[in-house]
């Protein structure tokens, strides 16, 4: 889902990054320091993640896709390996696996969390070597159930940074966690990505790949660096991570209270610790979903179908759609409503009231 551009000024956009005066000052400090490429501020971001996770190591990169690609590579994934991933996910997963040359294994998702279904994975027979477990829109993927299948796990926290489940920060359980700082994510630098792992050797390998310049020995490496300009913006936003989570939770709670009979939502939206990256409503059928979208639009509220049918990864690969009944149904019934800290209380109340008055 790309950043929405062409919305009318009077519309409440589906997404709008919050850039505070502190954020601007942080960027300005970098600009006036005369060191604007990867440098000390990027290192500070990496330290912030080590602090957040009370240990391990972190490596900042140019994007979440780069983070996925390099995590797979540094965990030893090659053309001989298989990598399982949910079909209801962004194409970045497939692209990263293809960059490594491994074989993707596309799995259906659970109807309540929209996360990869461990049973569906099991029923595909042979264990994959790696699984990308996406905490979709902030929901909790069942990492432990996946670990039972004897494979290495990458937690994709691009939509769940700062989310807490049963007292634990998401991203701690797998072999590595990856993050994105794209414009529509919880924390943004415009673009950017990061890998955190408790295994420092994994991060050493990633950092070696990223430092392509002035090396004595030649190895294929690549410029996937973040700039200090991005890192300055991200660092500044990271200091508000808990406030951001609480504001998103607050808005989600107001919508939940206004939800009319007949509409449900993605599981866990009201849970303590949830990072409500998206507030996704589930309608009983396609007609109701499309009616809700149009109804909101006429009231000046942008909403988005978070993943369209043609974007499902099994559709890209032309696999049998009958093996993906849940994802095939979700693309017809889901609608994502605006939920982000730059919303005013007036905007939040307007959306809640509109939801409440929607006649199914």
Ligand X SMILES: *Cc1c(COP(=O)(O)O)cnc(C)c1O
Q: How far is CA 144 from CA 77, 152, 197, 212, in A?
A: 21, 11, 17, 36
Q: What crossing angle do the helices spanning 64-74 and 92-100 adopt, rounded to 10°? A: 40
Total residues at interface with ligand X (CB under 6 A)? 13
Count of Cβ atoms closer than 10 Å to residue 41 Cβ? 25
* 193 makes contact with ligand X (CB under 6 A): yes
* 163 makes contact with ligand X (CB under 6 A): no
* 161 makes contact with ligand X (CB under 6 A): no
Nearest approach in angstroms of CB 264 to ligand X is: 22
Nearer to ligand X, 60 or 158 (CB): 158
Nearer to ligand X, 94 or 351 (CB): 94
Nearer to ligand X, 92 or 348 (CB): 92
Binding mask 296-335 for ligand X (x = CB under 6 A): ----------------------------------------
Nearest approach in angstroms of CB 216 to ligand X is: 31
* 180 makes contact with ligand X (CB under 6 A): yes
Alpha carbon distance 307, 250 (integer Å): 25
Q: Which two tokens stand for residue 226?
A: 């973040």
Nearest approach in angstroms of CB 193 to ligand X is: 5
Nearer to ligand X, 113 or 288 (CB): 113
Pick from 158, 187, 251, 304: which binds ligand X (CB under 6 A)?
158
Nearer to ligand X, 64 or 263 (CB): 64
* 159 makes contact with ligand X (CB under 6 A): yes
* Position closest to ligand X via CB: 64
Q: Which two tokens stand for residue 165?
A: 């489940």
Cα dihedral 1→114→247→257 (10° resolution): 120
Nearest approach in angstroms of CB 262 to ligand X is: 29
Nearer to ligand X, 331 or 352 (CB): 331
Nearest approach in angstroms of CB 9 to ligand X is: 26
Pick from 72, 134, 154, 343: which binds ligand X (CB under 6 A)?
134
Nearer to ligand X, 70 or 263 (CB): 70
* 92 makes contact with ligand X (CB under 6 A): yes
* 155 makes contact with ligand X (CB under 6 A): no
Q: How far is CA 4 from CA 11, 62, 184, 189, 312, in A?
A: 12, 21, 9, 17, 20
Nearer to ligand X, 66 or 202 (CB): 66
Q: Are 171 and 311 in contact (CB under 8 A)?
A: no
Query: Which residues within the stretch 26-65 sit at the binding site for ligand X (CB under 6 A)?
Result: 63-65
Alpha carbon distance 246, 244 (integer Å): 5
How many angstroms separate the first and last alpha carbons of the chain?
27
Distance of CA 158 to the CA centre of its chain: 3
Pick from 182, 196, 279, 324: which binds ligand X (CB under 6 A)?
182
Which of 12-20, 52-60, 154-162, 329-337 is the region at the interface with ligand X (rule: CB under 6 A)? 154-162
The DSSP annotation for 131-197 comes to EEEE-GGG----HHHHHTT--EEEEE-TTTTT-EETTEETTSSSSEEEEE-BTTSSS-SBS-EEEEE
Nearest approach in angstroms of CB 61 to ligand X is: 9
Nearest approach in angstroms of CB 313 to ligand X is: 12
Nearest approach in angstroms of CB 250 to ligand X is: 23
Q: How far is CA 183 from CA 3, 128, 202, 225, in A?
A: 7, 32, 27, 17
Tell me which residue of 195, 166, 186, 287 sits closest to 237, measured CA to CA.
Answer: 186
Q: Find all residues with CB under 8 Å of 198, minimum gap 6, and list them.
A: 53, 55, 56, 172
Residues that bind ligand X (CB under 6 A): 63-65, 89-90, 92, 134, 156, 158-159, 180, 182, 193
């Amino acid at each position: 889902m790309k950043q929405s551009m062409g919305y009318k000024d009077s519309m409440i956009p589906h997404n709008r990054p919050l850039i505070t005066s502190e954020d601007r000052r942080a960027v300005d400090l970098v600009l006036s320091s005369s060191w604007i490429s990867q440098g000390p501020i990027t290192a500070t971001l990496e330290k912030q993640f080590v602090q957040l996770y009370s240990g391990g190591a972190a490596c900042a990169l140019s994007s979440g896709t780069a983070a996925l690609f390099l995590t797979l590579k540094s965990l030893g994934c090659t053309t001989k390996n298989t990598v399982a991933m949910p079909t209801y996910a962004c194409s970045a997963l497939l692209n990263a696996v293809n960059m490594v040359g491994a074989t993707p294994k596309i799995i259906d998702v659970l109807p309540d969390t929209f996360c990869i279904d461990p049973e569906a994975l099991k029923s595909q027979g042979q264990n994959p070597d790696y699984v990308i477990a996406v905490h979709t829109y902030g929901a909790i993927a069942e990492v432990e159930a996946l670990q039972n299948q004897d494979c290495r796990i990458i937690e994709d926290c691009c939509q769940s940074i700062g989310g807490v489940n049963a007292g634990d920060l998401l991203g701690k359980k797998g072999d590595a966690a990856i993050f994105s700082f794209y414009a529509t994510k919880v924390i943004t630098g415009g673009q950017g990505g990061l890998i955190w792992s408790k295994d420092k050797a994994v991060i050493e390998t990633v950092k070696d790949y990223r430092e392509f310049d002035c090396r004595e020995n030649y190895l294929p490496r690549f410029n996937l660096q973040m700039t200090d300009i991005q890192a300055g913006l991200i660092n500044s936003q990271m200091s508000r991570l808990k406030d951001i989570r609480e504001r998103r939770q607050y808005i989600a709670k107001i919508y939940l209270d206004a939800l009319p009979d007949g509409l449900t939502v993605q599981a866990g939206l009201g849970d303590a610790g949830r990072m409500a990256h998206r507030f996704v409503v589930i309608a009983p059928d396609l007609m109701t979903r499309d009616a809700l979208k149009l109804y909101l639009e006429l009231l000046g509220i942008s909403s988005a179908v978070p993943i369209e049918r043609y974007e499902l990864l099994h559709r890209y690969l032309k696999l049998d759609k009958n093996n993906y009944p849940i994802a095939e149904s979700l693309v017809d019934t889901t609608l994502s409503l605006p939920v982000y800290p730059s919303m005013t209380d007036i905007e939040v109340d307007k959306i809640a009231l509109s939801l409440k008055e929607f006649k199914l």
